[in-house]
Amino acid sequence: MKSLTLLNALYPKSCNCSKPNLVFLKVKNRPSMARCSNCHKQVSITANTPFQGYQSNLAYISYIIWDMVNQYPKVMTSKEISRKLNLSYRTSYYLKKRIQIIFSQLNDKLRKELFEELKNTENTDQKPIAVADSVVLFSASLKANKYRSRRYKTGTASIYLSNNLQGRQVGCLVHTIGINHGMTFYKSIPLNNQHYLENDLNEKIPKNVTLYTDEGYTFLWDRPNHKMVNHSKKSKDPRYNLSRDRWVTREGVSNNGAESRNNILKQSFRSYGYISPRWSQLYLNELSFLSNLKFKPELRNLLSLGDDAFVLEVNRSDAQENLTNNVEKYLYRPLSLEERNQESKSSLINKINFEKFQRLSKGLKDAITVNNQFWNQNYIENHKRRKESKYNLVARKLWVLLELKKWTSLDDLVKISGYSRLEVLFILKKWLTVGLINMSKTNERYMDTYKIYKKTNDLFYLLYSETKTQVKANWNNFNKKIFKNKSYRSNRKYGS
């Protein structure tokens, strides 16, 4: 009975008469039928829901859902269902799948509602704060993966087996997006690149909302309230605003929220032992939905108590599918090795809209064009590809350490970034040449003190390598472009 109430609240059925009043029948062989007391038409409650064609006892549905809701964050495995209901593993497995589809559909609905809500929070006192982060589950173990093929961020485990094993995806890379003191959504993605992270953000968080991430999101430029937290380094010096504490003081938040979400995720998934990437999105939806329920008390009451005062209709087009088609929608399709290579190939091409490009200085436009031409070649030698990827990574890490329209000393940048002075200067040389920064040099007690001024927020992919013949000319050019004015020296705010 409770199961039918529940299904009918989520997937309402009607007899299409003037005074519909569905009464559940207790027909022995057709337990899912209801009849209208007014027109006497019979309607199946499970038809066009994820439970269409379901053969087992209907009572199991609400019973298991109740358990799942109440034992969160502990997850309910198929094995546990089979033990609880004394069912075969196979039956329990499909019962869980059907419930996962319902949860996925409801969670999609919550996501869309939240998006609309967030769009209209301009004038409220308590501004919502979004956090995003990614985490690896079931990483390809070192043992299976002697030659790590890919790394995510620094030192993060890979989800792919090495290339000579066809680089099959075995682990899951999960993008977590949450609202502080609010809902959380997880997305299974194949690569931690701009394309996937940005698409997921655009689907969940409107652009005006304050968003906290770590330093891996330098590509975001059209989100005015995006803040990056520097995880790895700490600085007590408030001048450069480089420590993670800086976010905490102003708005009472940091992206710790994302980290604690990832911890719940990791812990919950430990119960499963292993999940193939193919099914990952369904399992993530289940967990995300269960955690989001606490922000939807009416829905929680419906699912746990069978409280039918509340009706939340699942999108009709979603509902009217059989199990196979529904599962299909939430399956994760891993990328083939070729596709992955293709994606990593194109990842360092700058994608800028025309008007924005036109507004850049000539030096920068030329550098961007040269970079894009390089990455558009049909064949690029591997060592060149690797070198440029590495330089661009170092560049992005340094870039976020510099504060916009402020002077930062080279010594501080070296100390905080962990890169050597020469490595840092190598990147700065390029930036100065193309006009992304200004630099000044002061000679003090036989020591050269450099300062860097970040002129713009946008860092583009650039080619950093230089041929032997270019090295000297480039340094000369660099030295020419450095300010050596004395006035700056007297304006210094901070002694060293």
Give me the residues that bind Zn ion (CB under 5 A), please.
15, 17, 20, 36, 38-39
Q: How far is the CB of 172 from Zn ion (least distance, A)?
A: 47
* Residues 6+ positions from 492 with CB-CB distance below 8 Å: none
CA distance 344 to 332: 20
Using the minimum distance from each CB to Zn ion, give the nearer residue, 15 or 284: 15
Q: Between 39 and 471, whose beta carbon lies closer to Zn ion? A: 39
Residue with Cβ nearer Zn ion (27 or 39): 39
Q: How far is the CB of 316 from Zn ion (least distance, A)?
A: 19
Q: Report in angstroms how near the CB of residue 61 gets to Zn ion at its nearest.
A: 25
Amino acid code (one letter) for 143: K
Tell me whether residue 37 or residue 485 sits nearer to Zn ion (CB atom): 37
Which C-beta is closer to Zn ion: that of 36 or that of 413?
36
Handedness of CA 286, 292, 298, 301 (dihedral sign): positive
Paired tokens of 313: 């209709």
Q: Is 218 helix (H, G, I), strand (E, B) or coil?
A: coil
DSSP symbols for 425-447:
HHHHHHHHHHTSEEEEEEEETTE
C-beta closer to Zn ion: residue 35 or 207: 35
Q: Considering the complex, what minimum distance in angstroms separates the CB of residue 43 from Zn ion?
A: 9
Residue among 36 and 327 whose Cβ is closer to Zn ion: 36
Name the DSSP class of 403.
P
DSSP 140: P
Smallest distance from the beta carbon of 3 to Zn ion, in angstroms?
22
Instruction: Give every CB contact of residue 13 below 8 A, 6+ residues apart in sequence.
Output: 22, 34, 43, 44, 45, 47
Shortest Cβ 307–Zn ion spacing (Å): 24
Residue 42 C-beta: closest distance to Zn ion, Å: 10
Rounded distance between C-alpha atoms, residue 90 and residue 85, angstroms? 12
Percent helix / strand / coil, the chain, rounded to 5: 45, 15, 40
Strands 210-213 and 437-444: unpaired
| Minimum CB distance to Zn ion, residue 311 (Å) | 17
- The answer to whether residues 337 and 321 touch, using CB atoms and an 8 Å cutoff, is no
Residue 43 or 364 having the CB closest to Zn ion = 43
How many helices (H) and strands (E) the chain has is answered by 19, 11
